[in-house]
Amino acid sequence: MQEAAKKQLKKFRPENLERPRGTAHSLVNTTLRNIAPALIAPLLRSLFSSQRIELRMPGEGLPDRRRGVVFAFWHGKMATGWLLARRLFPNASHAAVVSLSKDGQLLSDTLGRLGFRLIRGSSSKGKEAVRSGIADALRSGEVVAVTPDGPRGPINRFKYGTLRLASETGSPVLFADIAHDRPRILKSWDRFEIPRPFGRAVITLHLVDVPRFDSEEELQRFANSLSERFAHA
């Protein structure tokens, strides 16, 4: 009996108690996640405002927003692309497609502070929800900002989902070819670019009318042709 009691008491010795793991680390991470968007959003605004942008418009001008607009740019050009959408369409409602990953949460919180409505999901997770969200936004005449090679690549390659939806809704795709002058390029899969403050950026806009597709093969060929056309962007 005494032996059994000793064993029970041993469980409650300080060295044998299970301590909460990573509590401080988790608290720091949570705090940083909450603070970071409040810092990043104004920094992005300041960086964008400081750039000397040369904008080259398509011959047809900007598309009619009544059918919605898919505003596209490569994942590595995000530092400029998001706010460019707001500058080009200042009176529109803007939605942004962001993945459900942890990195996506930080981006989502930042974009919310920049005035975007968020559509969360990707081709690999939350696909149906994001498809429905984009379709509803386009039918409502919103400008939907997307990175067609995100969230994980391959770099500078159009995925099929966005083009399929643009085809089904009759919405035009406006692709922004963003060329920063001597940016800092990170060693990430997308070769993420951080533009220099007060640097120059040449942005060429391409209006893409997406046709109806009679087969998946036609869609894939069209997506591949766009990827080849804008791969250098």
DSSP assignment of the chain: -HHHHHHHHHHTSGGGSPPPSSHHHHHHHHHHHHHHHHHHHHHHHHHHHHSEEEEE--TT-SPPGGG-EEEE--GGGHHHHHHHHHHHSTTS-EEEEE-SSHHHHHHHHHHHHTTPEEEE--SSSSHHHHHHHHHHHHHTT-EEEE-TTTTT-STT---HHHHHHHHHHT--EEEEEEEESS-EE-SSTT--EEPPTT-EEEEEEEEEPPPP-SSHHHHHHHHHHHHHHHTT-
Tens-digit pLDDT profile for the chain (233 aa)? 445 544 443 443 444 444 445 555 455 556 556 788 889 999 999 999 999 999 999 888 999 888 899 999 999 999 999 999 999 999 999 999 998 877 788 899 999 999 999 999 876 666 788 899 999 999 999 999 999 998 888 999 999 988 999 999 999 999 999 999 999 999 999 999 999 999 999 999 999 999 999 999 999 999 999 999 998 76
Residue 12 lies in a domain: no
Q: What is the largest CA-CA distance in the chain?
A: 92
Q: What is the CA radius of gyration of the chain?
A: 23
Residue 145 lies in a domain: yes
97-156 pLDDT, tens per residue?
998 877 788 899 999 999 999 999 876 666 788 899 999 999 999 999 999 998 888 999
Residue 109 lies in a domain: yes
| Domain tally, the chain | 1
Question: Residue 110 is part of a domain; what is its CATH number?
Answer: 3.40.1010.10
Do 231 and 156 form a contact (C-beta atoms < 8 A)?
yes
Residue 95 lies in a domain: yes
Host domain of residue 200: 28-230
Which of 163, 170, 119 is CA-nearest to residue 144?
Answer: 119
Residue 8 lies in a domain: no
Residue 18 lies in a domain: no
Residue 90 lies in a domain: yes
Residue 13 lies in a domain: no
pTM of the predicted model, to two decimals?
0.83
Side chain identity, residue 181: D
